[in-house]
């Protein structure tokens, strides 16, 4: 044990110990405050990380929902694309059949009028123009022939019979449209849809003539 000879030495030693104690207490307080600050920062970091994780999970769930919707949309678009391809194939086949029917009709007209086959087989519009000219000429001749006939008294029953006969003749004409000529190697078609479209085209070409008959010179 340390011995002090003077009271002043004892007092000095006491003061030194008190100063050291105060310094240690101050350092301990600062360390505790630093620990509390670190704990607070750690808690804030944990809370912020939890919020970020929650937001990321929500974002992942939203992206998964969008992915499912996109997959469903892709399946729908693929189904629509297959339907479009099937429709296009059907329309292409129908167009080929229509062109074939027009070609057969043009060959019949060319054979009837003894025309040269100078129109290409791919030029469907030119073939229709030739057919239209032939139909217009025949319509004009028929109109002039009817004008030359003496007038007959109107009879309702015969008129109905005449209309039925005209409809039957038109049906026969439309049926003969698709018959291939004996000298042609092209096959024919009897598709009712094609006959209907050809009928509409013929009716459209005959409509102006039926209203204003052409007068032959």
pLDDT value for 115: 67
pLDDT value for 58: 96
Rounded distance, CA 209 to CA 132, Å? 11
Instruction: Please state the pTM of the whole predicted model.
Output: 0.41
pLDDT value for 200: 53
pLDDT value for 34: 94
Rounded distance, CA 115 to CA 106, Å? 10
pLDDT value for 40: 94
DSSP secondary-structure letter at 71? H
Rounded distance, CA 30 to CA 62, Å? 48
* Cβ-based neighbour number of residue 103 at 10 Å: 19
pLDDT value for 85: 95
Instruction: Enter the tokens of residue 68.
Output: 């499912």
Residue indicated by tokens 């009028």: 113
Rounded distance, CA 126 to CA 106, Å? 10
pLDDT value for 198: 46
pLDDT value for 6: 78
- CA 106 to chain centroid: 36
> 120 burial class (0-12, 13-18, 19+ CB within 10 angstroms)?
exposed
> 129 burial class (0-12, 13-18, 19+ CB within 10 angstroms)?
middle
Stretches in the chain below the pLDDT threshold 70: 1-4, 115-117, 150-217
């Amino acid at each position: 044990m340390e011995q002090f000879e003077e009271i002043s030495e004892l007092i000095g030693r006491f003061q030194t110990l008190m100063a050291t104690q105060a310094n240690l207490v101050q350092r301990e307080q600062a360390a505790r405050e630093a620990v509390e600050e670190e704990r607070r920062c750690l808690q804030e970091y944990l809370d912020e990380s939890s919020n970020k994780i929650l937001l990321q999970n929500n974002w992942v769930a939203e992206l998964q929902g969008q992915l499912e919707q996109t997959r469903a949309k892709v399946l729908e678009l693929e189904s629509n694309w297959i339907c479009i391809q099937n429709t296009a194939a059907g329309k292409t086949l129908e167009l080929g059949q229509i062109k074939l029917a027009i070609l057969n009709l043009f060959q019949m007209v060319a054979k009837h009028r003894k025309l040269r086959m100078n129109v290409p087989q791919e030029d469907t519009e030119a073939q229709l123009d030739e057919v239209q000219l032939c139909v217009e000429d025949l319509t004009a001749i028929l109109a002039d022939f009817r004008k030359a006939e003496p007038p007959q008294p109107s009879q309702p029953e015969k008129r109905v019979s005449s209309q039925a006969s005209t409809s039957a003749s038109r049906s026969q004409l439309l049926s003969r449209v698709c018959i291939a000529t004996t000298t042609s190697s092209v096959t024919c078609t009897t598709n009712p849809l094609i006959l209907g479209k050809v009928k509409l085209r013929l009716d459209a070409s005959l409509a102006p003539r039926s209203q204003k008959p052409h007068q032959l010179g």
